[in-house]
Amino acid sequence: MRIYPDTSFLVSLLYSGDRSHAASEAFFVAQTTAEWVTSEWLLFETNNSLRQLCLARNGPDKIMIEGVRRLFKRWHERGNFTRVDADMADAVTECQQLSAAHAIALRMRSADVLHVALLEQINPDLFVTRDADQFKLASQRAFPAQLLS
């Protein structure tokens, strides 16, 4: 099984201080044989989101987040995470189509739309997210998706 997680899932999985960490970790552990696929966009957004946690009141320090970032990198080098190449120009074209088809009925943040647009190229067996709006959009596009709380 190929699983494409979104940033909200990965941040909660990687950062033990996240309120949904236990649920994300349980889902991840249950999928030990899965191939977890990431895109260059997902890598950037996840690492940037982790770093942004340092700005929160009582947030983690930068040394801890750097350790988490290195762990995530190691999962790509020696674990079951694989980065796949995606054509960003095609993804942006797909974003335009998604917006035209769904933006008047669904809440669509640009970064979330890009993840769903990338699903067309990556073609995972499952898309995992903690974002209800992103889940709705992926479901509208008939991608197998799971919403974790």
- pLDDT tens digits, residue range 49-84? 999 999 999 999 999 999 999 999 999 999 999 999
Give the Å distances, CA to CA, from 144 to 4, 54, 63, 124.
Answer: 10, 33, 37, 8
**What pLDDT, on the 0 to 100 scale, is given for residue 69?**
95
pTM for the predicted model, two decimal places: 0.92
Q: Which of 85, 83, 81, 69 is nearest to 31 (CA)?
A: 81
Beta strands 145-147; 81-83: pairing state: unpaired
Q: Rounded distance, CA 98 to CA 102, Å?
A: 6
**What pLDDT, on the 0 to 100 scale, is given for residue 68?**
96
**What pLDDT, on the 0 to 100 scale, is given for residue 32?**
84
Ranges of residues in the chain whose predicted pLDDT is under 50: none
On average, the pLDDT of the chain sits at: 95
The residues, ordered by sequence, that sit 6+ positions from 28 with a Cβ below 8 Å of its Cβ are 13
CB count in 10 Å sphere of residue 122: 20
**What pLDDT, on the 0 to 100 scale, is given for residue 149?**
80
**What pLDDT, on the 0 to 100 scale, is given for residue 55?**
96
**What pLDDT, on the 0 to 100 scale, is given for residue 29?**
96
